[in-house]
A = this chain, B = another copy of it.
């Protein structure tokens, strides 16, 4: 596992690497404003000002506030999915190695992308129906990644739980919740948190200690 410094910066290009987020300026502005005041509490005028654009300039790139929300949350979910897929591609073949890889990816994302996670989950209410369906499909895809590993682990006897799907969802939610309480300048380094949570998450799915 990386040292604390490596975990904060990581090897550029690795799924573990989190630099400053590289969102286009209007999406960065939308992220900050929606996190602070919510979608309905934010005006296009405010978003344009934050992005350093005129209102028509902003509309030139994004035709509506809804388009900004959709573009932001889609980008965020694709980033998480892409990192999780890469973590899985690098992982060893056993269910526990695969489980650890996806759980670590979820954890790091929710430590380093707290605002993104907050806005994506709180502003599902503000997505128009089609956008919401597309967002939920991406979220389900991330969940299925863990579901399949847990089910495979139960089938091979690596995990023991009568409720693989529920346990798998419980693991996802405890990782997602890290965004709500974890602070990078707090007492736990990202690597320490990953170490503790891998152990706790394995317990949750009844991973056998062998």
Beta-carbon contact of A203 and B167 below 8 Å: yes
Report the minimal beta-carbon distance from A161 to chain B, rounded to whole angstroms: 7
Beta-carbon contact of A174 and B163 below 8 Å: no
Residue A145 CB within 8 A of the other chain:
no
Residue A189 CB within 8 A of the other chain:
no
A-B contact pairs, 10 of them (CB 8 A): A36-B125, A39-B41, A40-B41, A40-B42, A166-B197, A167-B203, A170-B174, A170-B201, A173-B174, A203-B204
Report the minimal beta-carbon distance from A3 to chain B, rounded to whole angstroms: 20
Give the distance in Å from the alpha carbon of A169 to the alpha carbon of B180 in the complex: 12
Report the minimal beta-carbon distance from A142 to chain B, rounded to whole angstroms: 13
Of all chain B residues, the one with the shortest Cβ separation from A123 is B38
The interface residues of chain B lying within 8 Å CB-to-CB of A66 are none
Give the distance in Å from the alpha carbon of A35 to the alpha carbon of B177 in the complex: 19
Beta-carbon contact of A200 and B41 below 8 Å: no
Report the minimal beta-carbon distance from A169 to chain B, rounded to whole angstroms: 7
Contact with B along A170-190 (1 / 0, CB 8 A): 100110110011000000000
Q: Which 8 A-B pairs have the closest CB atoms?
A: A40-B41, A38-B38, A173-B177, A37-B40, A170-B174, A41-B41, A204-B204, A122-B122
Q: A36-B125, A122-B122, A196-B166 are in contact. Are A161 and B41 (CB under 8 A)?
A: no
Checking B35, B122, B170, B196 against A163 with a beta-carbon cut-off of 8 angstroms, the contacting residue is B196
Q: A173-B177, A177-B177, A204-B204 are in contact. Are A199 and B162 (CB under 8 A)?
A: yes
Beta-carbon contact of B39 and A199 below 8 Å: no
> Could you tell me which residues of chain A, from 131 to 184, have a CB within 8 Å of some CB in chain B?
161-163, 166-167, 169-170, 173-174, 176-177, 180-181
Give the distance in Å from the alpha carbon of A35 to the alpha carbon of B123 in the complex: 10
The interface residues of chain B lying within 8 Å CB-to-CB of A170 are 174, 197, 200-201, 204
Checking B41, B176, B204 against A38 with a beta-carbon cut-off of 8 angstroms, the contacting residue is B41
Beta-carbon contact of A163 and B206 below 8 Å: no
The interface residues of chain B lying within 8 Å CB-to-CB of A206 are 203
